[in-house]
Amino acid sequence: MKIKENDFGVLSNGKKVKIWTLSAGDLKLSLSSYGAAWTSLIVPSRNGIKDDILLGYSGLDGYLNNGPYIGVTVGRFANRIKDASFEIMGMRHALNANDGVNSLHSGPRGFDKLLWKSEAYEENEGVYVRFELDSPDGDCGFPGQMKAVVNYGLTKSNEVICDYQAKVDKPCPINLTNHAYFNLAGEGNGNILNHDVVLYSSSYVQVDKTGIPTGNIVPVDGTIFDFRKRRKIFLGGSFLKPFRGYDHCFAVDGERGKLRPCAEVHEEDTGRSMAVFTSQPGVQFYTGNFLKNAAGKHGSVYGKHSGFCLETQHYPDTPNQKGFPSCTAAPGKDYHEKAVFKFDVG
């Protein structure tokens, strides 16, 4: 196991950005202190060829102008909030709208656009980076002071470990996740529509044309949302409109709050497989529908469907949906969620 620290660049305020590289088992993961972003993940194929399977940028400038949220940690609240507002404790809180009239990933300056404190450490059979962020009362419109701690790491068993924690001094909805885009064939190597996917979800969160939940949790049986048996992302015919692919939150089967299977993805040519586990109620399955020729690493250009995301999270618009599992943290009621991404070849 190895930990390596390097400089990644300097922000306009003179603060330095670090990049950490962790090595354990057969994997190598790089992480930036700006946005607590996953910048690279090297994974071998069945033939021993090592590829970077994460979409990303060659340098810090790309992450400073990161419209698709590639690789970043999202907060205070990932996904959409209707009309960029919510009510809690009898008080309405206005957020910044950046997705029409709605708030997406907490507005134009969420946690993905901040410099996190970071330090690396070894623990048991893994190497990790601990990211910390202090968010003041009113940040992005959310109530209360918040301290976020996110730990990302690698284990000797070829697992990427994600541990999300937060404390607040006032009741506040929290929804932290990572927005990594994967292509198991290797970043820049075509689209992901032929990847085989399993989702451990018997139902999904129904949304309107703007991606805001209707309040209904709908069974997947007999629909194009049924991934309970392994199948390709795209089966042919017309794709989902108006989303041009999948951008939906699936309700993960099993007991909420406990780490349980969430998804499996396989790429046949390389033999790479990824299994995902989460403690959260849902996972946003996004197929890169709105990637528009983004300039990626090493000359790669990321067009539509160049990568997919599996964002473990609470349901979108939870603060405005009384029927959804609560994501409200409060003094004495801390936020703590986990996810694991396990890799294999075969």
Catalytic positions? 179, 311
Two structure tokens written together for 9: 């660049």
Rounded Cα gap, residues 202 and 45, in angstroms:
31
196 sits in which H/E element: strand 196-199
Please enumerate in sequence order all residues whose Cβ is within 8 A of that of 223, keeping only pairs 6 or more positions apart, or say none. none
As a whole number of angstroms, the distance between CA 291 and CA 303 comes to 5
Q: Between β-strands 328-329 and 172-173, what pairing exists: parallel, antiparallel or unpaired?
A: antiparallel
Note whether 252 and 278 are within 8 A (CB): yes
Beta strands across the sheet bearing 159-168:
117-123, 126-135, 146-155, 159-168, 335-345, 272-278, 260-267, 196-199, 231-232
Element (H, E) at 63: helix 60-64
Taking the C-alpha atoms of residue 177 and residue 83, their distance in angstroms, rounded to an integer, is: 21
Q: Is 277 helix (H, G, I), strand (E, B) or coil?
A: strand
Of 195, 200, 226, give the one whose Cα is nearest residue 306. Answer: 195
Which residue reads 């198991």 in tokens? 184
Closest CA to 292 of 278, 306, 281: 306
CA distance 128 to 21: 10
How far apart, in whole angstroms, are the C-alpha atoms of residue 125 and residue 170? Answer: 36
Tokens coding 69: 């949220």
**Omega into 272 within 30° of 0, i.e. cis?**
no
